[in-house]
Amino acid sequence: MKGPISIIQEIPKDKRKIIFWVIMIILALTLSGFYIKYIQKKVIDISIDKTKEEMEAHSLEEIIDKIREIEIPKIEMPKFDQESLQELQRMMEEMPEEEIEENLEEPLKENNNQPTE
């Protein structure tokens, strides 16, 4: 009685290659099918879990509470009297445009170089 291996060994090499590749293709297709089903199931599970979390996390009350927690900083604008405003306007009229732009840019550069707390 011959075993399956000895039977395959007696077949010519070209036919053995064909048998080998047919078996490999069948195994690859089978494993690929299982893998695709597994991935589909995982994607569906993940999407269901995410939608549940999003629905729970984004309730209207929570959003309103988060908006109320936001603190808006109070910005105090400097107050000028009429005389100082007129003096500033007169000075700006006397200055050339390039010098005005330079003077406006200097405070911005100074603020950018200061460390923030």
In this predicted model, what pLDDT tens digit does every residue of 67-83 receive, in sequence order? 888 887 788 877 778 88
Residue boundaries of the structural domains of the chain: 4-66
Q: Which amino acid is at 12?
A: P
DSSP summary character for residue 2: -
Q: Are 19 and 11 in contact (CB under 8 A)?
A: yes
Would the pLDDT of 115 be above 70? no
What distance in Å separates the CA atoms of residue 59 and residue 66, rounded to the nearest whole number? 11
DSSP summary character for residue 58: T
Kindly report the pTM of this predicted structure.
0.39
